[in-house]
Chain A
């Protein structure tokens, strides 16, 4: 295994884990969204590194997947932020109570 690939694979794994932790323990929805975006970034990094990016032009299929993924991520984030504004507007808080509805 090429060292660059090793570095970025471990980075991806670490960022994904950090994102999961952030999502699970954060209280504000905004932070949870950041965590989700981190996880997405980690997956993209993993895809490209595994696609051979460390040694030369990476596999174009994962590149296209990542591009699609980035646009989907921004779409989902944008909608989530709009919903968050509505949440603040309707409930007076931008946090979700972990105890209701479960």
Chain B
């Protein structure tokens, strides 16, 4: 049964997309149930099997590895799949109201959303470098129209810029894969380390540099982040949430896979990790400062993503169990918190018609639940307790301290102070009262608005809960530590 479940993770959303293309409201609804609501149930048996037996491969078509394509499920992949199921699911629930099945907008929206889900699931499972290229392209081509669907000129411009850079990134990745295939004779990620051992080192280095550049560009890692803020800020709310929480993570995830699973240990790996750490530090500081300077809520959140992605690279040189747990936990908690923030921001934008910080006054009266979700998620982003973000930061700090990385430690602290500054700047703007004597006006919020606020709040609460229920997740992650970092 567990194989069927694994296959279903990719194929149910894919078939759902087909179903949603067909006309009629019923098809789309069925597609959403089949393709999205099923995911947690499919993930349960897969998770259990990984807990019981550890990571495993599935060979597609029965054609074994260097020739065929394999799927690989391990704790890291599981974490990402759960994020797709939960964050994607709640964002989809939020989107349900703005893109109702049966309406023209819904008809355009859902097939793409389902394809995006299938592509991300496929990407997290695939063990084949070229198949990953196809998945990356599918993610890009499904995600970008969703941005442009916001309709504004800014959104269209941002989508175009994103598309061009994403295509460039894919090509860099593809060129690297082409070189690797020829020098190693395989496209399988997990056969690569052995195959590369005999390959000429300059070729490997050049190919990995190309792959790395492509992925850094797709992952919007400073200084290649230029496309991200506008794209994430101008997309429709649930799309922003998924872009920031999941889509950019696909590139970071691949970076981990290639860097930590396929890269032969040695000088090259050390140099790459150091470079990543420097870029991560740059992202953390630059993104934090820029977030502090924005005057629109969604841009603040988008720049915060630029900054927070820095954490995901910063700790790579530590190469310890604690660092691994910290990275994966940051992946999770940032995803939850950021999605909550974007959904909340979308609700606020919807309710008051603007997301300029100067227009946000008295939000606690006007959109209380969304503001609360924003605040709770903000706690996680700042890395203050009790939240998943805090635990991730704690683990990072502890790993940095044990590793004697004082520079890293100070960057981490500076980054979190910056995060506190920009989050509290938003909250202060939202609590402001222009005129203290102003009468209270509990502005009518529609039932839909309330429900949408609930989804944001649920995500924020999940971010909060991850501040307590960390032990099982971290234990699972410990069994999935990259081979170059230690024995599982």
**A: which residues have CB within 8 A of B?**
16, 23, 29, 32-33, 36, 39-40, 43, 46-47, 50-51, 61-62, 65, 68-69, 72, 75-76, 79-80, 83-84, 86-87, 90-91, 96-97, 100-102
Q: Quick one: which of B134, B137, B175 contacts A16, CB cutoff 8 A? A: B175
Q: In chain B, what residue has the closest Cβ to A72?
A: B137
Instruction: Say whether B209 faces chain A, with CB atoms less than 8 Å apart.
Output: no
Q: Is the CB of A62 within 8 A of B161?
A: no
By the criterion of a CB under 8 Å from any partner CB, how many residues of chain B are at the interface?
33
Q: Is the CB of A83 within 8 A of B157?
A: no
Q: Is the CB of A79 within 8 A of B145?
A: yes
Q: Quick one: which of B148, B178, B229 contacts A83, CB cutoff 8 A? A: B148
Known A16-B175, A69-B174, A91-B156: A32·B229 in contact at CB below 8 Å? no
Q: Is the CB of B163 within 8 A of A51?
A: no
Interchain nearest-CB distance for A49 vs B (Å) = 10
Q: Is the CB of A46 within 8 A of B160?
A: no
Q: Is the CB of B156 within 8 A of A87?
A: yes
Q: Is the CB of A76 within 8 A of B171?
A: no
Instruction: Say whether B159 faces chain A, with CB atoms less than 8 Å apart.
Output: yes
Please measure, in the bound complex, the distance between the C-alpha atom of A48 and the C-alpha atom of B182, giving whole angstroms: 10
Known A43-B174, A50-B178, A83-B163: A90·B168 in contact at CB below 8 Å? no
10 A-B pairs with the lowest CB-CB distances in the bound complex, closest first: A101-B230, A90-B153, A50-B182, A102-B226, A47-B178, A90-B156, A91-B153, A39-B171, A43-B175, A36-B167
Q: Is the CB of B182 within 8 A of A32?
A: no
Please measure, in the bound complex, the distance between the C-alpha atom of A57 and the C-alpha atom of B263, giving whole angstroms: 31
Q: Is the CB of A36 within 8 A of B164?
A: yes
Q: Is the CB of A101 within 8 A of B159?
A: no
Please measure, in the bound complex, the distance between the C-alpha atom of A87 and the C-alpha atom of B74, giving whole angstroms: 42
Q: Contacts of B159 on A, CB cut-off 8 Å? A: 83
Q: Is the CB of B175 within 8 A of A76?
A: no
Tell me the dominant secondary structure on chain B's binding face: helix
Q: Contacts of B67 on A, CB cut-off 8 Å? A: 61
Q: Quick one: which of B145, B148, B171 contacts A43, CB cutoff 8 A? A: B171
Q: In chain B, what residue has the closest Cβ to A66?
A: B178
Instruction: Say whether B394 faces chain A, with CB atoms less than 8 Å apart.
Output: no
Known A65-B130, A68-B134, A90-B156: A43·B164 in contact at CB below 8 Å? no
Known A36-B164, A40-B171, A43-B178: A76·B141 in contact at CB below 8 Å? yes
Q: Contacts of B301 on A, CB cut-off 8 Å? A: none
Q: A47-B178, A75-B141, A83-B144 are in contact. List 6 more A-B contacts (CB 8 A).
A: A36-B164, A36-B168, A43-B171, A46-B178, A62-B178, A84-B160
Q: Contacts of A50 on B, CB cut-off 8 Å? A: 178-179, 182
Per the 8 Å Cβ criterion, residues 41-75 of B in contact with A are 67
Please measure, in the bound complex, the distance between the C-alpha atom of A39 and the C-alpha atom of B227, giving whole angstroms: 21
Please measure, in the bound complex, the distance between the C-alpha atom of A91 and the C-alpha atom of B151, giving whole angstroms: 11
**B: which residues have CB within 8 A of A?**
67, 130, 134, 137, 140-141, 144-145, 148, 152-153, 156-161, 163-164, 167-168, 171, 174-175, 178-179, 181-182, 187, 226-227, 229-230
Number of interchain pairs (Cβ within 8 Å)? 91
Interchain nearest-CB distance for A39 vs B (Å) = 5
Q: Is the CB of A76 within 8 A of B167?
A: yes
Q: In chain A, what residue has the closest Cβ to B67?
A: A61
Q: Contacts of B141 on A, CB cut-off 8 Å? A: 75-76, 79
Q: Contacts of A47 on B, CB cut-off 8 Å? A: 178, 181-182
B153, B174, B226 — most chain A CB neighbours (10 Å): B174
Q: Is the CB of A76 within 8 A of B157?
A: no
Please measure, in the bound complex, the distance between the C-alpha atom of A62 and the C-alpha atom of B129, giving whole angstroms: 12
Q: Contacts of A51 on B, CB cut-off 8 Å? A: 182
Interchain nearest-CB distance for B282 vs A (Å) = 15
Q: Contacts of B182 on A, CB cut-off 8 Å? A: 47, 50-51
Q: Is the CB of A32 within 8 A of B164?
A: yes
Q: Contacts of A40 on B, CB cut-off 8 Å? A: 171, 174
Q: In chain B, what residue has the closest Cβ to A48?
A: B178
Interchain nearest-CB distance for A41 vs B (Å) = 10
Q: Contacts of B137 on A, CB cut-off 8 Å? A: 72, 75-76
Q: Contacts of A32 on B, CB cut-off 8 Å? A: 164
Q: Contacts of B175 on A, CB cut-off 8 Å? A: 16, 43, 46
Interchain nearest-CB distance for B174 vs A (Å) = 6
Please measure, in the bound complex, the distance between the C-alpha atom of A54 and the C-alpha atom of B187, giving whole angstroms: 22
Please measure, in the bound complex, the distance between the C-alpha atom of A101 and the C-alpha atom of B220, giving whole angstroms: 14
Q: Contacts of B145 on A, CB cut-off 8 Å? A: 79, 83
